[in-house]
Amino acid sequence: MSAGPRPRARDVGIVIGRRAPGRANAITDVPGVRVGHATIVRGEGPLVVGVGPVRTGVTVIFPHDDDLFLDGVFAGWHRLNGNGELTGTAWIDEAGILTGPIALTNTHSVGIVRDAIVARAARAHPDGPELWSLPVVGETYDGTLNDVNGFHVTAAHVDAAIDAAAAGPVPEGSVGGGTGMICHELKGGVGTASRVLAAHEGGWTVGVLVQANHGVREDLRIDGVPVGAELPVAEIPSPYHGREGSGPGTPGSGSIVMIVATDAPLLPHQCRRLAQRAGLGMARTGGYARNSSGDFILAFATGNRSLGPGAGTGRPHGAVIDVRMVPDDGLDGIFAGAVEATEEAIVNALLAAGTMRGVNGIEAHGLDAQRLGRIMARYGRGPGRPLAV
């Protein structure tokens, strides 16, 4: 296991794109957005279903500081490849509104996480307006390192992640829902980044958080550099060593969930378009939405508020509300910011994760910052100087 803070892309001298990041270079740079994790790591050695080893958790993202169960925001989503799950999207397709926090976890814990969020909403409003909840919960598979059939994520972990949700810097790597994840046959997990657009592009902030569990080694590219080819599995073993086929626990069979946030006033169809662009950031790192991958993107925009089912309590029947929108011909900077931030978030996830040993002693090696810096320098990227890590 890794310990202590680890570098991010910019600490290695990797500057992706042309736009500046926000203060935390995280999805939480979008005002009001908060992130919380609950991480479960225990046990070593052979797999004993129901006992461990356990390498899993849950991550929650709150789009704003007010009561999200009642006050929704416009949202849209996109599927690159559908071998996965993102709950609540049928209603987002229908109404274009997100209510409640977004949660990310492992494949077999989606149900308990969803139910725990519904229970949390019910407890928060026992005597309030009539409440219903269709939470958005996304997943990626962590069964290579984690006792995924042991069902170790509980409602208490969901509550802990919700209670921990905060603005500012976001813990990355092997935390929360990303704890047991593998990316490009290296240790993956949670990563985040942001972009603040210049005034001529609207001045909006765009933030991205990923749960990265996808890709094969030889495809990995960072800022255009073929890093994966420079990290052959003969030198840095793959956690999938000796496995063949296309099922769970084989190279390229994993997934990624990307969450995009912006404070721009976008309508639902524009959020859907924004979600599509995040997939281009994934592609720039060598993620190709392979056949067994589940690649889902949700984008939400906080520039319009008081949209949810409870926010309008007291409005007369038939009332009309005003909403704002960025004109479609003003979206290019927001699109570009999402692409840049997604690419950097994936790199941050790889750098932050460190090496992890899971079930049956299977080991996923972390991306070494020193070696990455040397590789980037050979291709004319980064400072090419030793790093203090």
> Would you please indicate which residues are annotated as catalytic (active-site) residues?
255, 293, 295
Q: Report how far residue 312's alpha carbon sits from residue 368's, in angstroms, rounded to the nearest whole number.
A: 51
Q: Report how far residue 207's alpha carbon sits from residue 210's, in angstroms, rounded to the nearest whole number.
A: 10
The helix/strand/coil state of 154 is coil
Provide the β-strand partners of residue 260. 208, 299
What region does 346 belong to: left with phi over 0, alpha with psi -120 to 50, or beta? alpha
The helix/strand/coil state of 244 is coil
Q: Report how far residue 340's alpha carbon sits from residue 319's, in angstroms, rounded to the nearest whole number.
A: 40
Q: Which two tokens stand for residue 48?
A: 């004993």
Question: How many CA within 13 A on the CB side of residue 314?
Answer: 4
Cβ within 8 Å of residue 289, ≥6 positions away: 80, 81, 279, 282, 295
Q: Report how far residue 55's alpha carbon sits from residue 365's, in angstroms, rounded to the nearest whole number.
A: 15
DSSP 200: G
Q: Report how far residue 378's alpha carbon sits from residue 384's, in angstroms, rounded to the nearest whole number.
A: 8
